[in-house]
Amino acid sequence: MSLPIELWYWPTPNGWKVSIALEEMGLAYEVKPVNIGAGEQFTPAFQAISPNGRMPAIVDPDGPDGQPISLFESGAILQYLGAKSGRFYPADPRAKAEVDQWLFWQVGGLGPMAGQTHHFRQYAPAMILDQRQIAYGVRRYTDETHRLYGVMDRRLADRDYLAGDYSIADMAAWPWILPALQGQDLEEFPNLKAWVARVGDRPAVRKGRALGEDLRRNLAASGTQAEAARRMLFGQRARKE
């Protein structure tokens, strides 16, 4: 019997992508919490798996050649898990290309832009003294996130899922529409709103989304601990020379 996949994880949109995929694909896994507010992403043990120092990452003891394999970057992990399980990632070249383009759209567009929106709307006011910088950042990234929501809404006008059938592309994008920190109103995007509900109704999605709820800290809270967590998150930790 194969050992479970190690999921190096913290409950954030990128973490949820992989926890949802593992639940959807029925793959056995074991959670290895990476407390990003406490700086655990900087430990040598984690960076041996994720050189970029970002979670999620996985270690599959039963890799393609029967030997362990480690992977970082959520998009690469979703592709690997889809190929391993034979689910939600089609083998047909045309269908696979359709999934890939929306997966890369998420990892290159929606995720980074929404992430910057979170930063400037939630975290930056506690970290940047010049409020003009914050105002520009809020406007820039909120507007771009609005545009990307529109792209999804138009795409979903005549289909239930981003790439036709439900796939890893939907698993990648769905967590990034959830946070109420992006200054968006889903009522403006009826097709997207229906998709959010449709994906969210899946039992495996609900289970993957709930993973680690007890681990998450409110990094936006006031206090010394929250300030230290923010500095960890945004690369301002003290480093030994």
- φ, ψ of residue 232 to 5 degrees: the values are -65, -45
- Total number of domains in the chain: 2
Quick check: is 78 in a domain?
yes
CATH number of residue 153's parent domain: 1.20.1050.10
Q: What pLDDT, on a 0 to 100 scale, did the predictor assign at position 49?
A: 96
Are residues 67 and 12 part of one domain? yes
102 CB-near residues (< 8 Å, 6+ apart):
155, 162, 163, 167, 169, 172, 173
Give 52's DSSP letter.
Answer: T
CATH code (residue 23): 3.40.30.10
C-beta separation of 121 from 138 below 8 A: yes
Q: What number of other Cβ atoms are within 10 A of residue 62's Cβ?
A: 15
Residues 182 and 229 occupy one common structural domain: no
Shared-domain flag, residues 148 and 229: no
Q: Give the bridge partners for 72, in sequence order.
A: 57
The predicted pLDDT at position 128 comes to 59
- Alpha-carbon distance of 91 to 138, in angstroms, equals 41
pLDDT score for 234: 56
Residue linked to tokens 């910057």? 116
- Are residues 51 and 106 both part of a single domain? no
Classify the C-alpha dihedral 93-95-98-103 as positive or negative: negative
* 93 backbone dihedrals φ, ψ, rounded to 5°: -60, -40
- Point out the residues of the chain with pLDDT beneath 70: 1, 123-133, 216-241
Residues 41 and 132 in one domain: no
How much is the pTM? 0.86
- Judgement on whether residues 141 and 38 belong to the same structural domain of the protein: no
Tokens of 121: 């709307």
> Does 42 lie in the same domain as 138?
no
SS3 6: strand
Show the domain range for 141. 93-208
- Residues 56 and 144 occupy one common structural domain: no
Q: Which pLDDT value is given to residue 74?
A: 97
143 in a structural domain = yes
Does 240 map to a domain?
Answer: no
